[in-house]
Structure 1
Amino acid sequence: MGIKDQFQDKADELRDKAKDAMGGAKEETGKRGQRSQEEVERSSQTSDEAQRAAQEQQDRFNQDYDA
């Protein structure tokens, strides 16, 4: 095996490792994005629930005050 072949083999190996690393990074980024979206949705639900609870409390207060 000549020097050129050795360098080519090493270059191919490094290229393959880089591709694998990039694929893993893309996958991790996708997972992070999905987790972030889920957190936003949960936060929105919590906010909606809080608003609903506050409205119910205000309605009860108004009913008690009107009676």
Structure 2
Amino acid sequence: MGMKDKAGKTQGQAKQKMHEGQQQAQQTPQAPQRGQQAQQRGQQAQERGQQTRERGRQGLDDTEQEMQDRFDQDYDA
């Protein structure tokens, strides 16, 4: 077997393995699922952050109302 024959055989095997890998990647839907899962986790984290901010805002509003009520009680006109 000459050098050219050996190189051609090795190159053919490499192309075959690459083709098999591409087919396997197309049949495996894990890559898009991972992206979707990451996106869902991001949305959930964003919603939790928004809920926390809303609760914080409610707490401030309650505190301001309590201060106003105390002021009104202390300084009845």
Per the TM superposition, whether the score is higher than 0.5 is yes
Alpha-carbon offset, residue 14 of structure 1: 2.8
Equivalent residue number for residue 15 of structure 1: 26
**Aligned match of 1:58:** 68
Question: TM-score, normalized by length of structure 2?
Answer: 0.69
Q: Report the RMSD for the aligned CA atoms in angstroms.
A: 2.6
Q: Which amino acid aligns with 2:24?
A: E
SS of residue matched to 2:75: helix
String of CA shifts for 1:34-54, please: whole Å, max 9, x gaps.
011111111111101100000
Gaps of 5+ in 2: 1-12
Answer with 1 or 2: which has the greater Rg.
2
Greater helix share, structure number = 1
- What is the aligned residue count? 66
Please list every run of at least 4 consecutive aligned residues from structure 1 whose deviation after the TM superposition is greater than 6 angstroms: none
The one-letter code matched in structure 2 to 1:49 is: G
Structure 1 length normalisation: TM-score? 0.78
Aligned sequence identity (%): 22
The CA deviation string for residues 22-43 of structure 1, in whole angstroms up to 9 with x for no partner, is: 1111001000100111111111
Shift of 1:13: 2.5
